[in-house]
């Protein structure tokens, strides 16, 4: 999958009256490779992956890093869920400063690489610790390189998320998902005209219907194991009812009203490395607080009820081996564990406490 097939999340997604939403297609495409051909060799501890749990594009990198067991080789910094119109910030860290990079705003790492950098300050971004410079924010290629180029640092039992014999099919499926679903929800939400919205809406649900048929009799999107394609669809599905259905007007059906996709999403959510990376509070705070074009009051909805993410999905009956010949990752590191109150388990506990 060439990096040109996708674009990245920017901090500035705004409604432009009369126009369709167009995603910024420009990013820093430098790669970190085994041979260091672009000047950046794979090296444990040399880089820092900067993410936000709120962002669906960064969420892909969080999941892939965890599934592959790259926590020690590629340490991670986590930005807060909200930001100003220019830069993600390290609100979660003591003093609001990343403890390794020593910066409060991610834009400082971009400026260190390109003085006066004018494009979106995006996550995920990989920063070289010694120079404080962003190496890449090309998230589409970034996870593929974690799959392939970082193989020497994968954990024992790591799954092959981008198997060579399936790459053509994975690329094809993932590109359709990006165009119509990952980016499609944004094209609905940030449409500047009724016509642009309706075009995006039709494309989104047409693709979801096609994915329903694809997944009706097979457990995963490509082959019988989890691949990059599943990671890329999951990060949109997990946000669908909490954000996209209402906030982005993607309201033909909730995910929980689409039985096949709902069971598929729950199957992945209950798989180690997926659900344990989801922070629903960060997700809602980001969309409803930052995107004032769509939600000028910045009121964050209390729902939806999250408990149903933990209900049985029944997808095991379709066979498949989530991790292939490998094994699931162990528990997340303490410093990277999503607060319980931000998860379905926490919502169940909170509900029980109130009921008492």
**Binding site, annotated residues for glutathione:** 88
pLDDT digits (tens, 9 = 90+) for 135-157: 999 999 999 999 999 999 999 99
Which structural domain, as residue segments, surrounds residue 308? 164-355
Choosing from 55, 79, 188, 250, the catalytic residue is 55
Which uninterrupted H or E stretch holds 341?
none
Q: What is the CATH number of the domain that holds 286?
A: 1.20.1050.10
- For the question of residue 79 being annotated catalytic, the response is no
Q: Is residue 24 part of a domain?
A: yes
Q: Choosing from 47, 139, 162, 186, which is the catalytic residue? A: 186
With respect to residue 191, please indicate whether it lies within any of the assigned structural domains: yes
Same domain, yes or no: 57 and 173 = no
> What pLDDT, in 10s, does the model give residues 267-294?
999 999 999 999 999 999 999 999 999 9
DSSP structure string for 202-259:
HHHHHHHHHHHHHHSS-SSSSTTS--HHHHHHHHHHHHIIIIITTTT---S--GGGSH
Domain boundary residue, one of 124, 153, 182: 153
The yes-or-no verdict on residue 19 having pLDDT over 70 is no
Asked, for residue 103, whether it belongs to a domain, the answer is: yes
> Does any domain span residue 264?
yes
pLDDT at position 9 = 44
The answer to whether residues 29 and 105 belong to one domain is: yes
Radius of gyration of the chain (CA): 19
> So what's the pLDDT on residue 85?
84
CA–CA separation, 11 and 21 (whole Å): 14
Q: Alpha helix locations (H) across the chain?
A: 56-68, 107-113, 139-148, 167-177, 184-189, 194-215, 228-239, 259-269, 280-285, 344-355
Whether the predicted pLDDT of 207 surpasses 50: yes
Average pLDDT over residues 178-197: 97
Inside any domain, residue 20: yes
Active site residue 55: yes
Mean pLDDT in residue range 334-342: 96
Same domain, 182 and 71: no
Tell me the pLDDT tens digit for each residue of 233-275.
Answer: 999 999 999 999 999 999 999 999 999 999 999 999 999 999 9
> Residue 26: its pLDDT value, please?
81
Beta bridge partners of 329: none
Q: Which residues are paired to 117 by β-bridges?
A: none
């Amino acid at each position: 999958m060439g990096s040109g097939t996708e674009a990245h999340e920017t901090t500035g997604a705004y409604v432009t009256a009369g126009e369709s939403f167009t995603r910024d297609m420009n990013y820093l495409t430098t790669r970190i490779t085994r041979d260091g051909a672009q000047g950046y060799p794979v090296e444990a501890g040399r880089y820092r992956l900067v993410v936000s749990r709120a962002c669906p594009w960064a969420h892909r990198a969080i999941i892939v890093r965890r599934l592959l067991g790259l926590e020690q080789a590629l340490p991670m910094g986590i930005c807060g869920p909200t930001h100003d119109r220019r830069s993600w910030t390290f609100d979660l860290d003591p003093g609001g400063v990343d403890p390794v990079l020593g910066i409060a705003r991610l834009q400082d790492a971009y400026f260190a690489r390109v003085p006066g950098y004018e494009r979106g300050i995006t996550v995920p971004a990989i920063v070289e610790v010694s120079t404080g410079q962003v190496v890449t924010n090309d998230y589409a290629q970034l996870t593929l390189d974690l799959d392939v180029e970082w193989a020497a640092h994968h954990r024992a039992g790591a799954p092959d998320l981008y198997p060579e014999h399936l790459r053509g099919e994975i690329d094809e499926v993932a590109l359709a998902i990006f165009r119509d679903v990952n980016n499609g929800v944004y094209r609905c939400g940030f449409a500047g005209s009724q016509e642009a919205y309706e075009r995006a809406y039709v494309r989104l649900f047409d693709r979801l219907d096609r994915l329903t048929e694809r997944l009706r009799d097979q457990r995963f999107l490509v082959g019988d194991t989890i691949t990059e394609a599943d990671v890329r669809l999951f990060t949109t599905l997990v946000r669908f009812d909490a954000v996209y259905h209402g906030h982005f007007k993607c309201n033909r059906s909730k995910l929980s009203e689409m039985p096949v996709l709902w069971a598929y999403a729950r199957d992945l959510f209950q798989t180690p490395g997926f659900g344990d990376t989801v922070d629903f509070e960060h997700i809602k705070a980001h969309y409803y607080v930052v995107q004032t074009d769509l939600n000028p009051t910045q009121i964050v909805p209390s729902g939806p009820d999250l408990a149903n993410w933990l209900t049985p999905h029944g997808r095991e009956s379709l066979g498949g081996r989530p991790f292939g010949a490998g094994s699931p990752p162990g528990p997340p590191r303490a410093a990277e564990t999503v607060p319980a109150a931000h998860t379905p388990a926490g919502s169940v506990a909170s509900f029980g406490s109130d009921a008492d």
